Structure 1
Amino acid sequence: MDDTKAALSKVGARLRALRPILTPLESRILNEALDEGFDEGTALTYFAGKADVSEAMVVKTAKKLGFTGFRDFREQISAYNARPSAVLHKEIGPEDSQADILRKVFNTAIQALQETQVIIDEDAFAKVVDAISAAPRRDLYGVGGSAQIARDVSHKFLRIGVRCAVYDDAHMMLMSASMLEPGDIAVAFSHSGRTSAVIDGVLEAKRRGATTIAITNYVHSPLVDAVDLVLRSTASGSPLLGENAAARVAQLTVMDAVFAAIAAKAYDVAERNLERTRTAVAIKRVR
């Protein structure tokens, strides 16, 4: 990804990360800016009128979103809106052909992967790899769709001999967390970062001295505040698909990278365990 594409990807990721802390008025301004027709020629007065807010409110919101002012806000968001992929990422509608739907769904996932790649904290990634590699016990917590991600990760890690336990029940999370000790880890999967059962689990794990890790979408959330390490994904939302569909792809890819890095740390052991697990299930395949 070239520097321009990476910069634009960071713009989209930053805007979505800040959405949970925006007021209704601020959200309206952002939504108006991300709509069709907002470009480098849009005047502040016109934009404020269209959003039905004061000009001062627009400038204040632009700064809260990390821009230096309205001009910077207009320049970067209009460039983000003008990306070729933006056309394909429009909401799915009843007028769309099956080919249109196919392209839009794939484009949403591709965008999530591109934008997640540019916001990954490489230092946190390295620490997560080291912590998972060294831990005697590894608990994975998630509810609903996030639990399915945890199960996929557990399955993948088992192939190289890295055993994990998956918990998707609030009571079981707390019970397992209470048995953790320093050196163990608890990994919490939550798109919103606001799932109470998962947060309670990692807080208990942290009280027991375990290293806590979050795989989540938003930088401003109770889960992020509760853990030691964060690996963040990002994905555009839509009324039909929501954010979770694309975020699931991004989070699975992040954990694929963790898996590969752990395997590389002890390549011979990983290769041997891959062969053992592959051989063990081979008899279940129909010939």
Structure 2
Amino acid sequence: MVIIMLNGGLSRLEQSLDKIKKAELNAAKYILEFPDKVIQMTVSELSEASHSSASAVIRLCKNLGFSGFQDLKIRIAGDLQNKQNNGHEYQEIHADSNIANIIETVSNNNSLSINETARILDPEKIEKAAEWLNKAKRIDFYGTGASQLVAQDAQTKFMRINKFCTAYADNHLQLTSAVTLTSDDVVVAISNSGETLQIVECVKAAKESGAKTIGLTRYGNNTLGQLVDINIEIISSESDVRSAATSSRIVQLNVIDILYVAVAGNQFDSSLNYLNRSLKAIKKSFRI
């Protein structure tokens, strides 16, 4: 028997902190500072301790996607239990960090980001997105900067199972492609912030063309997430230095892998055939 521990409460709060309304901010900050106390509190006790109103606490829970305060407390308890079990938390790299510290810190942060995201991924969204990708006549992957690398990785994977797809690096080509899509096509737009102007404009153009749209953004309200038909949210911790969007890129790649395997598994025999053919062709080219 497998016991599933619900969690992700603290992660959602942390990711959404800069966008939480002012009336709810005191409660949010109190929860993050004293999570062990909060799981023992009632709404009225939390509102009093955080100098918030009870209605603000309820709105905070709803705006973060929880069914209510009890749901939030259960997930915070899961977060605390998970932290106790694995003994790890997000860490920053400092000026005096040695190579051993860097190896441990970067690996730990990437692992935690993947695991935190896995806990909040909605299986129904993933299933629907995979269904659209499976049936699509054409797939456009949009991204800029580090997210463009993820888009290119996605193109490489889906091409190997005979999916017609593009991952143009040039924004003008992305827009040109977007306006030529049809209702039989699907867009996957990748932006950790969800506010990348070029990607938002491409998605708007794709929607006007009738294409289905899938977003891959950080958790919380953002322009891209509200614009697309399906938004797949991730959780990542970036260093203050934010060297090349490390954690977010790793998590984005992991979600692309999940979608790829879901699509390939849905058409297992043909996917295996195409994978074997592409592998054979690549091996042959290396022998020349």
TM-score (structure 2 length as normaliser): 0.80
Find the aligned partners of 1:270 and 1:72 in 2 and give their Cα distance. Answer: 43
Quick one: which amino acid aligns to residue 205 of structure 1?
A
Residue 64 of structure 1, CA deviation: 5.0
Find the aligned partners of 1:33 and 1:96 in 2 and give their Cα distance. Answer: 31
The aligned counterpart of 1:83 is 84
SS in 2 for 1:148: helix
Residue 244 of structure 1, CA deviation: 3.1
Counting only pairs closer than 5 Å after superposition, residues 103-252 of structure 1 correspond to structure 2 as 103-241=104-242, 244-252=245-253
Quick one: which amino acid aligns to residue 40 of structure 1?
K
Is the 8 Å Cα contact of residues 212 and 227 (structure 1) preserved in structure 2?
A: yes
Aligned match for 1:15, one of 10, 13, 22: 13
Which whole-Å deviations, capped at 9, do the CAs of 1:173-200 have from their partners, x for residues lacking one?
2211110111111110000100111011
Which whole-Å deviations, capped at 9, do the CAs of 1:76-127 have from their partners, x for residues lacking one?
5993795355645222223433222222211111111111112111111111
The aligned counterpart of 2:268 is 267
Find the aligned partners of 1:80 and 1:220 in 2 and give their Cα distance. Answer: 27
Find the aligned partners of 1:242 and 1:33 in 2 and give their Cα distance. Answer: 29
Q: Which runs of 5+ in 1 are unaligned?
A: 45-53
Q: Which runs of 5+ in 2 are unaligned?
A: 42-48, 62-67
Identity %: 26
The aligned counterpart of 1:56 is 51
Find the aligned partners of 2:54 and 2:97 in 1 and give their Cα distance. Answer: 37
Find the aligned partners of 2:89 and 2:95 in 1 and give their Cα distance. Answer: 15
Residue 18 of structure 1, CA deviation: 2.0
RMSD: 3.5
The aligned counterpart of 2:37 is 40
Give the 3 Å change call, closer, same or farther, for CA 38–162 of structure 1 in structure 2.
closer
Is the 8 Å Cα contact of residues 189 and 214 (structure 2) preserved in structure 1?
A: yes
Residue 171 of structure 1, CA deviation: 2.2
Find the aligned partners of 1:139 and 1:58 in 2 and give their Cα distance. Answer: 46
Find the aligned partners of 1:55 and 1:233 in 2 and give their Cα distance. Answer: 28
Find the aligned partners of 1:58 and 1:82 in 2 and give their Cα distance. Answer: 30
Residue 243 of structure 1, CA deviation: 9.3
Is the 8 Å Cα contact of residues 11 and 235 (structure 2) preserved in structure 1?
A: yes
Is the 8 Å Cα contact of residues 12 and 220 (structure 2) preserved in structure 1?
A: no
Which whole-Å deviations, capped at 9, do the CAs of 1:27-57 have from their partners, x for residues lacking one?
687567656x87539xx9xxxxxxxxx9424
The aligned counterpart of 2:258 is 257
The aligned counterpart of 2:283 is 282
